[in-house]
């Protein structure tokens, strides 16, 4: 039997990159998958692909930094599937600037999309999960949440805060049957990484003991582990898939 048979999952930022590969991995393992993404055309393409695995897939347009749009989108997913068992908070943006040149708007946008969204989406799904006595929340952080990076203080701050949120919420809701964990990918080759300057990209590559960037598809199996029966004893964990860049 597929590992995630019967589970109803929602992946934010699932139209491309890591989110898309997690959605694919979930569908391969028997889950129904809702994709919440601001890029609705790409989300619909991904949903169409997921349905080929024989399970339900749904694309929903939403800005994950908007309280109203998140609430409406998750209500739509819950109506379509009858509930959400697994939430993957993956949506995010990335850009770079030294702190002295970083505008307040740039900082606020990073925090809104990469951190506020985690709170909003989690808060929206928790009542249903706790009422059923079962849920899995997987937050996508980053190895930069552990180590930081020059010109990325806003990004590293948001990702570090996700780890703190994960650990705190894990203690808060585990007795209700909701397990909360984080995945901290290292440098992964995705469309999102195209916003990273070449010199920073080269420096990042030189720091990785394995000598290469990761592939988005390499993140999916860990998400499946945390969502499925094999993840039943993980509480507040941070899974570090980074080629040895950060060893904790």
**What is the residue-level pLDDT of the chain in tens, covering all 248 positions?**
899 999 999 999 999 999 999 999 999 999 999 999 999 999 999 999 999 999 999 999 999 999 999 999 999 999 999 999 999 999 999 999 999 999 999 999 999 999 999 999 999 999 999 999 999 999 999 999 999 999 999 999 999 999 999 999 999 999 999 999 999 999 898 765 555 677 777 888 888 998 899 999 999 999 999 999 999 999 999 999 999 999 88
Give me the phi and psi of 206, to 5 degrees please: -65, -20
Q: What is the DSSP letter of 197?
A: -
At 1 the pLDDT is 86
Q: List, by residue number, the catalytic residues.
A: 155
Counting every residue written for the chain, the total comes to 248
Pairing of strands 86-89, 32-37: unpaired
Locus of tokens 């394995």: 210
Q: What is the DSSP letter of 114?
A: I
**Domain range list for the chain:** 8-239
8-239 CATH fold: Rossmann fold (3.40.50)
At 203 the pLDDT is 82
At 193 the pLDDT is 55
pTM of the model: 0.95
């Amino acid at each position: 039997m597929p590992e995630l048979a019967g589970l109803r999952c929602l992946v934010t930022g699932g139209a491309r990159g890591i989110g898309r590969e997690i959605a694919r991995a979930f569908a391969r393992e028997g889950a129904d998958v809702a994709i919440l993404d601001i890029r609705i055309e790409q989300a619909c393409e991904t949903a169409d692909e997921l349905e080929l695995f024989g399970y339900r897939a749904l694309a929903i347009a939403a800005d994950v930094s908007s309280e109203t749009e998140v609430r409406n989108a998750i209500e739509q997913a819950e109506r379509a599937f009858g509930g959400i068992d697994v939430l993957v908070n993956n949506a995010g943006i990335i850009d770079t600037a030294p702190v002295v040149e970083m505008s307040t708007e740039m900082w606020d946008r990073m925090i809104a999309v990469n951190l506020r969204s985690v709170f909003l989406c989690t808060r929206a799904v928790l009542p249903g999960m706790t009422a059923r006595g079962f849920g899995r929340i997987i937050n996508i952080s980053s190895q930069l949440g552990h180590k930081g990076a020059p010109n990325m203080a806003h990004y590293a701050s948001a990702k570090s805060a996700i780890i703190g949120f994960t650990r705190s919420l894990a203690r808060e809701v585990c007795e209700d049957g909701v397990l909360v964990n984080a995945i901290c990918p290292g440098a992964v080759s995705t469309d999102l990484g195209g916003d990273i300057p070449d010199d920073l990209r080269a420096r990042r590559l030189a720091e990785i003991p394995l000598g290469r960037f990761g592939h988005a598809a390499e993140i999916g199996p860990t998400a499946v582990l945390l969502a499925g029966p094999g993840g039943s004893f993980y509480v507040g964990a941070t899974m570090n898939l980074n080629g040895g860049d950060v060893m904790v």
